[in-house]
Amino acid sequence: MKLFDSLTHVTRDGSWCGEKHCDASLTKLLEDMDQGGVYRACLVAIADYVDNEIIIESARIYPDRFVPIAGLNPRTLPTLRRVEAVVAELAAQGFAGIKLHPRLNGYDPLDPKCIAVFDAAAEHGLVILLDTLFRRRGLATTNAPDTIDHIANACPDTRILLLHAAGPSMLDLFEIVRANPNLMLDFSFTIKRYAGSRLDEDMRYLFSTTDQLITIGSDFPEYSPLKILERFRLLSAGIEAHRIENILYRNLERLFSGYKVPAAE
């Protein structure tokens, strides 16, 4: 299977979230991509965990293999004007999009500064990759579909890839995605994390009926592309080839159509 991986990460020292339980080095990612038939991948930073510099540097070394996505924590910025300026700076540096991770960075996705990121991204042609697993101890949020419904209506011009498809709420989220042309469901992490649960049938249903709105990925180094593709093969057995191609790579090709990694200055 040919795959455009929706979500991968690397770090300079190969550690992951401060630990050495898995190898997050660029060398390991490239090996896993080759082993899994991944011809291209979104290479994604996470504010406070994976720095933007290693992402853009790696993408410049391998411009045909990586689409660089910056990490941004709007909570750390003092004003809405500063949020807008930082988004403009990231676009000028050559990033194709911005990753927002409300759970790890400890903010409400409906915070005005976060909404400002969505608005500014649309202005600068950037894609937002939003982690939709919002729940965390000590910070209550509304359920993911309602939160995303609010964002989609507040920022209708922003292209948003909804990472992990809100896990157990994926069918509710699907109804919102279907009504908003700039939203897309991503099943990185989720496709493996919930293996053997009732969500297998939900995912199979979505793969077979909503193929133009779905992507999958490994969330490397959490999982290898090969492991993700093995799961996808099981869940997509009997589904038409054109639907599988949309999910595996065509949808992301359309989402990032025309993007090229800029050369170093």
Select from 217, 249, 224 the least CA-distant residue to 30.
224
Q: Which domains does the chain have, with CATH numbers?
A: 3-255 (3.20.20.140)
Dig out the tokens for 151 from the structure: 């964002």
Per DSSP, the residues of 105-164 read HT--TTSHHHHHHHHHHHHTTPEEEEE----BTTB----HHHHHHHHHHH-TT--EEEEG
Instruction: Outline where DSSP puts E strands in 101-163.
Output: 127-131, 160-163
Dig out the tokens for 257 from the structure: 């159509």
pLDDT value, residue 138? 67
pLDDT value, residue 156? 96
Q: What pLDDT tens digit does each residue of the chain (265 aa) get? A: 799 999 999 999 888 877 777 899 999 999 999 999 999 999 999 999 999 999 999 999 999 999 999 999 999 999 999 999 999 999 999 999 999 999 999 999 999 999 999 999 999 999 999 999 986 766 666 789 999 999 999 999 999 999 999 999 999 999 999 999 999 999 999 999 999 999 999 999 999 999 999 999 999 999 999 999 999 999 999 999 999 999 999 999 999 999 999 887 6
CB 87 within 8 A of CB 72: yes
Select from 103, 185, 196 the least CA-distant residue to 152.
185
User: Taking the CB of residue 108, how many other CB atoms lie within 10 A of it?
Assistant: 16
Across the chain, mean pLDDT equals 94
pLDDT value, residue 226? 96
Instruction: Specify which residues 98 forms β-bridges with.
Output: 70, 128
pTM higher than 0.75, yes or no? yes
